[in-house]
């Protein structure tokens, strides 16, 4: 199954970046391709959310389950239903040298082997670009928040 892993360094404390990533309902405020995130269920460290995004102007919708590990600063997610057959992975947040190393892993399958053969490299690139966009947006939002707290 195809897998994409992207990473970014954020100039903010790991706990702050992790808490921002947990606040998924805010993603549409600072992630350009995310139209809506609606929390459907909260149960301790587990949430179920409905997502609507745009990839190359095409809408993609799904419902996912997220498990938050507040000790390890890790989010594991998996598709429950939606436009893909498989969409799962994790976000990790590791503080090193005064910065946070955020890694996003995505395993995906569109469930149409013929489609994967025809446009597999394009799909892979789009998943990679989308992951990089999400990390860049998270970085901007986290670093802006740190800068605002420093000047307050």
Mean pLDDT along residues 21-32:
94
pLDDT digit string (tens) for 31-49?
988 999 999 999 999 999 9
Looking at per-residue pLDDT, the higher value among 148 and 149 belongs to 148
Mean pLDDT along residues 91-103:
96
- pLDDT at position 150 is 46
Provide the pLDDT confidence category of residue 71 given band limits of 50, 70 and 90. Answer: very high
Provide the pLDDT confidence category of residue 75 given band limits of 50, 70 and 90. Answer: very high
Q: Domain 3-151 maps to which CATH number in 3.40.50.300, 3.40.50.800, 2.40.160.20, 3.30.530.20?
A: 3.30.530.20
Looking at per-residue pLDDT, the higher value among 101 and 85 belongs to 101
**pLDDT at residue 151 is higher than 50:** no
Q: Which residues of 106-142 are buried (b: 16+ CB within 10 A; e: fewer)?
A: bbbbbeeeeebeeeeeebeeebeebbeebbebbbebb
């Amino acid at each position: 199954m195809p897998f994409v892993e992207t990473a970014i360094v954020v100039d903010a404390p790991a706990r702050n970046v992790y808490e921002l990533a947990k606040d998924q309902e805010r993603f549409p405020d600072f992630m350009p391709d995310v139209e809506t995130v609606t929390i459907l269920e909260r149960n301790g460290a587990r949430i179920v959310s409905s997502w609507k995004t745009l990839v190359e102007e095409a809408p993609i919708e799904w419902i996912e389950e997220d498990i938050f590990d507040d000790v390890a600063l890790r989010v594991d997610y998996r598709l429950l239903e939606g436009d893909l057959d498989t969409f799962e992975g994790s976000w990790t947040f590791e503080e090193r040298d005064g910065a946070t190393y955020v890694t996003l892993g995505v395993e995906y399958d569109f469930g149409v082997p013929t489609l994967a053969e025809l446009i597999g490299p394009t799909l892979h690139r789009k998943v990679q670009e989308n992951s990089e966009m999400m990390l860049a947006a998270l970085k901007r939002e986290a670093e802006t928040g740190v800068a605002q707290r420093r000047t307050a």
